Chains A and B, each alone.
Chain A
Amino acid sequence: MTSTNPDLLVFSPKGIYCPPADVYIDPWKPVSRALITHAHSDHARSGHGEYVCTPLTAAVLKHRLGKKIRISELPFGQKLNVDGVQFSFHPAGHIPGSAQVRVAYRGEIWVVTGDYKLEPDPISEPFESVRCHTLITESTFGLPVYQWARSESVIAEIHQWWRDCQDEGRLAVLAAYSLGKAQRLLSELDPGQGPLFTHETIEPVNALFRAAGLALPSTTTVNASHQQTDLKGALLIAPPAVLNSDWLQRMGPVSDAMASGWMALRGTRRQRTSERGFALSDHADWPGLLNAVRESGAQRVLVTHGFAAPFARYLREIGLDARDVETRFQGEPQPEDTTNTVDQINPV
């Protein structure tokens, strides 16, 4: 499709802005009305006048930002009309409730992907390709060296590691971000292999997801009264910041691992202090990004966070009108920045 209106969405200092509707998408500065793709903190910041998001994202936002925020729920596929601009949410497959935003105005269609992933998982609504003239896509893993193995094989590796930990009498501690990755792991791990424990920062999101009808296995929240013996044979899911805490020391011998797309590279795995790295990502890999761009039919592509410059350059070389745009989204936070991740947590 060929674009006629180059300015339906613009990149303003506050974030992605739609002038005819006076609405922002995932803005990073306080605005009066914000469409939120998903509840990760680099996309959903505090201080907006009104939040518009999917019902599940709304539930998580109330938990994260407080019950007092003003939220309008917009279920997937339903239309919201603002001054002649039509907005709708479409599944992004990144985490449960995560959406792409479709913006239509006078026959012109733009899509903002937010964060997305093409491979389905048991709990996220599967990614839906949306046709458009202009696509604003993320590019967290926008280099061809990022090609994910099928998640079954990564999950099988995690199970093997867990079994080894059980044989060696060590507690398996798997670091994962508390919103999304942690629940996806829970939904894919086999509760028959041993007890599943979670860190206290993860359980509130589990509760919200369970209330929304998502199938998560039963978990126990680890607390100060738990002894080493209570966690025998268990797998504990905890946010990355917990890995280096004194708290873990009390739990006897542990083996720590990290599940993240960054773990695909040997160098990144080695830099980490954790023993194991599993390349399991909630973002599209290189073939996924290319697929999404192709399927959208967009002639014009604006590339944001990640390897935006090389990905945009490659798209230009294969004949698209593409450029990279600087934003403040983080994509999948690199495991080493513990200062500014989606989880601001205090270890128990």
Chain B
Amino acid sequence: MRQFHELVRQLEQHPDGDGRVKALIRYFHSASDQDTIWAIALLSGKRPKRVVSINQLSSWAIEITGFPLWLFKESHRQVGDLAETVARLLPHPKSREDISLAEWLRLISCWGAAAFEEQQESIGLAWDQLDADERYLLNKLVSGGFRLRVKPVDLIQALEVVSGVPQYVLAIRLAEKWHPQTMTLKWLTEPETPEEARVKPMPFHPIQTLNSDLSSLGNPEDWWIEEQWEGIPVQLIRQDKRVYLWTTDHQLVTPLFPETEEACSELPKETVLEGILVVLQHDKPGPLDQIQSRMDCQHVTRRIIHDKPVCFIVKDCLVWKGKNIRNVPFSQRIQHVQSICSSIDSHFIRCSLLKEPGPDWTSIEDHLAAARERHGVGLELKQRNGNHGGESIADVWWKKRVDPLLMEMVVLYVEWGGRKSTGPGYELTLGLWDVDAFVPVMKKAIGMTAEDMDRIKDHVKEHTLERFGPVRQVVPNLVYTIIFEGVNVSLRHKSGITLKNPRIHECKEAMDVADLLPLSVLKKRFTQGI
């Protein structure tokens, strides 16, 4: 348990991928096989069944310590978590024994079947062998409150490093139904089988951002032009009787998207498609955060599918009925895509919207400029005769985003904050007129040029109205231009909207706040059709 506690501590210290992967690698290197399996299980959400409630644990702790209830409550108020309060109230262990994680979990499952008095006695004995940090974990495990999760991609990356087994193979095996008591590390890390090799994702076709004008691409007739949506790129492999849905980082996400799996179950065998997953809103692709939130849903219910239906927008066909067609020109591959999509009667799979190229780049430019009205974020351009995954310049896919939007906003609050990710700096809350008062619209850290730092420092010094902890409310007279890519409706925010990918661009020192456009204009102008 000591090792596992150290792992938990390190995972809590690193909320981001890299530090987490390192912590996992360290743990996997030192832990026994069974502990490794249990750690994988716990961290991917396979929790042991609850043995007793946390309130039951609390009353046992009160009984053992003899503390009055009010003192327990007072302590809980200070600690904020019952499992930790119990762990810290109990006296130091008489003899600390380092029992392995797997053994603890074996014991916990035995306790589940035991009589009440036996549970109390066993848990009391367990408490007396663990220090407060370990007890905290035990309390969480027996009361079903262990919630720490690690992204599958981090787990798999760490396992690949310690076992040498490719990530996709690990992903396939971990996606099976398994139980930590029957799963072995030996099985999990066996060399890949031929069956697995057949469902290995292929390299995704790279797509590059076009910074120059569209006309730099030469003859418009050489290009397929598609809408660009924001979504999660995936490869779908239909093999034997099953469907495998891979992300670019080799996560096997099929169980997260049952509607896609079902829609694709009628595809011809041995077919590989590439495309993106989006959430449909009013039958149109919704914003990126929608599909990301679907990715975070571990247990997909019918309600979730109803509220956030996911659509697989197919963009390319790599293998058709067992035949690798990646070297066939795109214009032929896309015909397979079209015939597949028209043959499947489902909302959950559709063909990428194709736009026949206009007579000239000017009309395509117009089409690009109107992307937002179609809920797109730009256009994608693909050589008609390019290969998939090829490396010659003729195979390149380009994406061109629609120009960002600009709007002036006024600084309402300034917060000096040290964020682990961005380092210390100012965070500004900016807002717009809503009838006759300002309403906050966005909050964002400002880039740390010396000039900006000084300007804000002076502004805070001269114009602070009120302090709320680290936050200063300032006189609304400092205006910045904001760049953003769109507006989402959000009922959770006072302004009723959120901005897509907003950045603080430049200070408009000369601008009078009376000239700022009101919130209503922002809403009207940019949220059309949503």
- Which A residues fall within an 8 A CB radius of B? 143-147, 149, 244, 246, 249, 264-267, 270, 273, 275-276, 287, 307, 310, 313-314, 317
Nearest neighbor of A243 in chain B, beta-carbon distance: B418
CA distance A264 to B75 in the complex (A): 13
Contact of B84 with A266 in the complex, beta carbons under 8 Å:
yes
Residues on A with beta carbons closer than 8 Å to the beta carbon of B78: 143, 145, 265, 307
Q: Which residue of B lies closest to A148 (CB)?
A: B92
Q: Cβ of A273 and Cβ of B92 under 8 Å apart?
A: no
Which A residue's beta carbon lies closest to that of B85? A145
| Shortest Cβ distance from residue A151 to the other chain B in the assembled complex, whole angstroms | 14
Interface flag for B191 (CB, 8 Å): no
| B68–A244 touching, CB < 8 Å | no
* Given A249-B423, A264-B88, residue A149 in contact with residue B131 (CB < 8 A): yes
Q: How far is the CB of A256 from chain B (nearest CB, A)?
A: 10
Known contacts A144-B89, A246-B424, A249-B423; 5 further A-B pairs (Cβ under 8 A): A147-B92, A244-B424, A265-B84, A273-B418, A307-B78
Q: Which residue of B lies closest to A153 (CB)?
A: B131
B261 to chain A, nearest CB (A): 39
Chain B proximity of A54: nearest CB distance (Å) = 32
A244 to B419, CA, bound (A): 10
**Contact (Cβ within 8 A) B75 A145:** yes
B71, CB-defined interface residue at 8 Å? yes
Q: Name the distance in Å between B529's Cβ and chain A's nearest Cβ.
A: 42
Q: Please, which residues of chain A bring their CB within 8 A of the CB of B75?
A: 143-145
**Cβ distance A3 to chain B, nearest Cβ, rounded Å:** 26
Task: Report B76-104 residues with CB < 8 Å from chain A CB.
Answer: 78-81, 84-85, 88-89, 91-92
Tell yes or no: B65 within 8 A of A by CB: yes
Instruction: A180 to B80: give the CA distance in the assembly, Å.
Output: 30
The answer to the question of B132 belonging to the interface, with a C-beta cut-off of 8 Å to chain A, is: yes
- With CB as the reference atom, state the residue of chain A lying closest to B419: A273
Report the Cα distance A287→B67, complex, angstroms: 13
Residue of B nearest to A245 (CB): B424
Assess A244 versus B71: contact at CB under 8 Å? Given A144-B89, A145-B79, A265-B79.
no
Q: Which single residue of chain A is at the shortest CB-CB distance from B89?
A: A144
Partner of A317, one of B12, B68, B91: B68
Return chain A residues, CB-CB under 8 Å to B418. 244, 273
Please name all residues of chain B whose beta carbon is closer than 8 Å to the beta carbon of A265 when the two chains form the complex: 78-80, 84, 88
Q: Which residues in B have their C-beta under 8 angstroms from that of A144?
A: 65, 67, 71, 75, 88-89
Residues of A within 8 A of B68 (CB): 314, 317
Give 17 pairs: A residue, B residue, CB < 8 Å, sorted on A. A143-B78, A144-B88, A144-B89, A145-B75, A145-B88, A145-B89, A147-B92, A149-B92, A149-B132, A249-B423, A265-B84, A266-B81, A267-B84, A273-B418, A276-B13, A287-B91, A313-B71
Knowing A147-B88, A266-B84, A276-B13, the reply to whether A310 touches B424 (Cβ < 8 A) is: no
Question: Is B74 an interface position by the 8 A CB rule?
Answer: yes
- A248 and chain B: residue at smallest CB distance: B424
Closest to B87 in A: A145
Question: Interface code B420-456, partner A: CB below 8 Å = 1, 0 otherwise?
Answer: 1001100000000000000000000000000000000
Which B residues touch A244, using CB under 8 A? 418, 424
B91 touches A147 (CB 8 A): yes
Chain B residues with CB under 8 Å of A145's CB are: 75, 78-79, 84-85, 88-89
B67, B68, B70, B424 interface centre (most CB from chain A within 10 Å): B424
- Distance in Å: Cβ of B256 to nearest Cβ of chain A: 29
**Could you say which residues of chain A place their CB within 8 Å of the CB of B89?**
144-145
Q: With A147-B132, A314-B71 as known contacts, state yes or no: A267 contacts B88, CB within 8 Å.
A: no
- Could you say which residues of chain B place their CB within 8 Å of the CB of A270? 12
Using CB atoms and an 8 Å cutoff, list the residues of chain B in contact with chain A: 12-13, 65, 67-68, 70-71, 74-75, 78-81, 84-85, 88-89, 91-92, 131-132, 136, 418, 420, 423-424
Q: Which of B67, B78, B81, B423 gathers most chain A CB within 10 Å?
A: B78
In Å, the complex CA distance between A78 and B343 comes to 100
Which residues of B are found within 8 Å of A147, using beta-carbon distances? 88, 91-92, 132
- B13 with A275: CB separation less than 8 A: yes
What's the minimum C-beta distance from B530 to chain A, rounded to whole angstroms? 37
Give the CA-CA distance A287 to B81 in the complex, in Å. 21
A145-B58 Cα distance, complex, nearest whole Å: 13
Residues from chain A with a CB closer than 8 A to the CB of B79 are 145, 265, 267
**Once the chains are docked, how many angstroms separate the CA of A249 from the CA of B423?**
9
Docked complex Cα distance between A144 and B88 (Å): 8
Closest partner residue, chain B, to A142 (CB atom): B74
User: Closest Cβ of chain A: how far from B19's Cβ, in Å?
Assistant: 10
* Structural contact, B92 and A143, CB atoms closer than 8 A: no
User: How far in angstroms is the closest Cβ of chain B from A132?
Assistant: 25
Query: Which B residue's beta carbon lies closest to that of A144?
Result: B89
- Residues on A with C-beta less than 8 A from B91 are 147, 287
Nearest opposing residue in chain A for B469, CB measure: A336
Specify which of A246, A249, A310 lies most central, judged by the most chain B CB atoms within 10 Å of its CB. Answer: A310
Closest to A270 in B: B12
A313: which B residues are within 8 A, CB to CB?
70-71
Inter-chain CA distance A276–B13, complex, in Å, is: 8
> Which residue of chain B has the shortest Cβ distance to A249 in the bound complex?
B423
Which B-chain residue is minimally distant from A143 (CB atoms)? Answer: B75
CA distance A275 to B13 in the complex (A): 6
Complexed CA–CA distance, A147 and B91 (Å): 8
Q: With a 10 A CB-CB cut-off, give which of B13, B68, B74, B92 has the most chain A CB atoms.
A: B74
Complex contacts, B420 vs chain A, CB 8 Å: 273
Residue of A nearest to B22 (CB): A168
Neighbour of A143 across the interface among B65, B74, B80, B424, CB < 8 A:
B74
* Chain A residues within 8 Å of B424, by CB: 244, 246, 249
Residues in chain A near residue B74, CB distance under 8 A: 143, 307, 310
On chain A, the residues within 8 Å of B71 by CB distance are 143-144, 310, 313-314
**One of A267, A273, A276, A287 near B80 (C-beta < 8 A):** A267
Measured CB to CB, the nearest residue on chain A to B73 is A310
CB-CB < 8 A to A267: which residues of B? Answer: 79-81, 84
Cβ-closest 9 pairs across A and B: A145-B88, A145-B75, A267-B80, A310-B74, A273-B418, A244-B418, A143-B75, A144-B89, A145-B79
Chain A neighbourhood of B65, CB < 8 A:
144
Question: In the complex, A108 Cα to B418 Cα: how many Å?
Answer: 54
Q: Give the docked Cα–Cα distance between A270 and B41 (Å).
A: 25
Chain B residues, Cβ within 8 Å of A273: 418, 420
Bound Cα distance A147, B131 (Å): 11
Residues of B with C-beta under 8 A to A146: 88
Cα(A307)–Cα(B88), bound, Å = 16
Which residues of chain B are near A317, meaning CB under 8 Å? 68
Q: Closest CB-CB distance, A270 to chain B, in whole Å?
A: 8
Q: Across the two chains, which residue of chain A brings its CB closest to B131?
A: A149
Q: From residue B140, how far is it (CB to closest CB) to chain A in Å? A: 11
Question: Which A residues are in CB contact (< 8 Å) with B13?
Answer: 275-276
Q: Select from chain A the residue with minimum beta-carbon distance to B14.
A: A275
Chain A nearest Cβ from B320, distance in angstroms: 49
- Closest chain B residue to A146, Cβ basis: B88
Contacts of A264 in B (CB 8 A): 88
Cβ distance B447 to chain A, nearest Cβ, rounded Å: 15
Q: Whole-angstrom distance from the CB of A264 to the nearest CB of chain B?
A: 7
Nearest Cβ distance between residue A169 and chain B, in whole angstroms?
Answer: 14
CA distance A246 to B67 in the complex (A): 47
